[in-house]
Amino acid sequence: QVQLVESGGGVVQPGGSLRLSCATSGFTFNSCSMHWVRQAPGKGLEWVAVISYDGSSKYYADSVKGRFTISRDNSKNTLFLQMNSLSTDDTAVYYCAKGGVATVMAPFDYWGQGTLVPVSS
């Protein structure tokens, strides 16, 4: 069955950096676009970033552009999110989500359980 497991969350100080990972199994990872979505405490869902199946295309929300970098290792079926210059506004649960085969224009059909990133001094 499809599994997505995020890791790497934890308390970080404002201005700090963190790298999230999403280990996947149960589907052909190197054929699918992958996303990061976040949810601040008590708030709605905010799409963060997407990477195409081969890593050639990456898109970001304006709120994280220039600070976050999405990447993937298709040999290890793993998705990453490098987060720099973190602020308290970045405090959220971060979910990885599976996108479409060979396209970024597809619904997110599987989600991980999320990893919490509190940004606090």
Q: Is 113 in the site for another protein (CB under 8 A)?
A: yes
Smaller CB separation from another protein, 14 or 61: 61
Residue 21: closest CA among 34, 39, 31, 11: 34
- Vertex 90, ends 92 and 75: CA angle to 5°? 75
Could you say whether residue 107 binds another protein (CB under 8 A)? yes
* 45 counts as binding another protein under rule CB under 8 A: yes
Q: Is 88 near another protein (CB under 8 A)?
A: no
Give residues with Cβ within 8 angstroms of 114, minimum separation 6: 6, 39, 93, 94, 95
Return residues touching another protein (CB under 8 A). Answer: 35, 37, 44-47, 50, 59-62, 95, 104-114
